[in-house]
Amino acid sequence: MVTKNLEVSLIIDSQGKICPYPLIEVKKAIKKLSSGEILKLITTDPICPDNVDSWCETTGNTLIRVDNHGDKIDIYVKKG
Protein backbone atom coordinates (compact mmCIF):
# COMPACT_ATOMS: atom_id res chain seq x y z
CA MET A 1 0.00 0.00 0.00
CA VAL A 2 1.47 3.37 -1.01
CA THR A 3 0.67 6.28 1.30
CA LYS A 4 2.02 9.65 0.12
CA ASN A 5 5.09 8.06 -1.49
CA LEU A 6 5.68 5.65 1.41
CA GLU A 7 5.32 1.91 0.89
CA VAL A 8 3.38 0.93 4.01
CA SER A 9 3.52 -2.76 4.92
CA LEU A 10 1.16 -2.75 7.91
CA ILE A 11 -1.46 -0.36 9.32
CA ILE A 12 -2.61 -0.29 12.94
CA ASP A 13 -5.74 1.65 13.87
CA SER A 14 -5.54 2.69 17.54
CA GLN A 15 -8.02 5.54 17.39
CA GLY A 16 -9.69 6.12 20.74
CA LYS A 17 -6.94 4.38 22.72
CA ILE A 18 -4.47 6.27 24.90
CA CYS A 19 -0.83 5.46 25.51
CA PRO A 20 0.63 3.09 26.38
CA TYR A 21 -1.82 0.95 24.36
CA PRO A 22 -0.97 2.31 20.87
CA LEU A 23 2.75 1.93 21.63
CA ILE A 24 2.21 -1.64 22.84
CA GLU A 25 0.46 -2.37 19.53
CA VAL A 26 3.40 -0.86 17.63
CA LYS A 27 5.87 -3.02 19.58
CA LYS A 28 3.93 -6.18 18.73
CA ALA A 29 3.37 -5.27 15.08
CA ILE A 30 6.95 -4.23 14.32
CA LYS A 31 8.04 -7.80 15.09
CA LYS A 32 5.99 -8.99 12.10
CA LEU A 33 7.90 -6.74 9.69
CA SER A 34 11.22 -7.20 7.97
CA SER A 35 14.00 -4.63 8.25
CA GLY A 36 13.19 -1.56 6.15
CA GLU A 37 9.43 -2.12 6.07
CA ILE A 38 7.11 0.65 7.23
CA LEU A 39 4.35 0.55 9.81
CA LYS A 40 1.58 3.15 9.90
CA LEU A 41 -0.12 3.85 13.23
CA ILE A 42 -3.40 5.79 13.25
CA THR A 43 -4.07 7.33 16.65
CA THR A 44 -6.04 10.08 18.35
CA ASP A 45 -3.69 10.35 21.35
CA PRO A 46 -1.67 13.60 21.08
CA ILE A 47 1.06 12.17 23.36
CA CYS A 48 1.63 9.12 21.15
CA PRO A 49 4.06 10.69 18.62
CA ASP A 50 6.47 11.62 21.43
CA ASN A 51 6.20 8.15 22.97
CA VAL A 52 6.79 6.42 19.63
CA ASP A 53 9.74 8.74 18.91
CA SER A 54 11.37 7.91 22.26
CA TRP A 55 10.77 4.20 21.70
CA CYS A 56 12.32 4.39 18.22
CA GLU A 57 15.44 6.06 19.59
CA THR A 58 15.99 3.21 22.04
CA THR A 59 15.17 0.34 19.67
CA GLY A 60 16.92 1.25 16.43
CA ASN A 61 13.70 1.86 14.53
CA THR A 62 13.06 5.16 12.74
CA LEU A 63 10.17 7.58 13.12
CA ILE A 64 9.78 8.70 9.51
CA ARG A 65 6.88 11.10 9.67
CA VAL A 66 3.95 12.32 11.75
CA ASP A 67 0.92 13.69 9.92
CA ASN A 68 -1.69 15.55 11.96
CA HIS A 69 -5.23 15.58 10.56
CA GLY A 70 -7.18 17.40 13.24
CA ASP A 71 -7.95 14.80 15.91
CA LYS A 72 -6.37 11.97 13.92
CA ILE A 73 -2.61 11.44 13.78
CA ASP A 74 -0.77 9.16 11.35
CA ILE A 75 2.65 7.96 12.56
CA TYR A 76 5.05 6.19 10.20
CA VAL A 77 7.77 3.94 11.64
CA LYS A 78 10.47 2.17 9.65
CA LYS A 79 11.78 -1.05 11.15
CA GLY A 80 15.52 -0.93 11.76
Distance CA 72, CA 56 (A): 21
Q: Catalytic annotation on 19?
A: yes
Residue from 19, 42, 63, 66 carrying the catalytic annotation: 19
Helix, strand, coil percent content, the chain, rounded in steps of 5:
30, 40, 30
The letter for the amino acid at 32 is: K
Catalytic residue set: 19
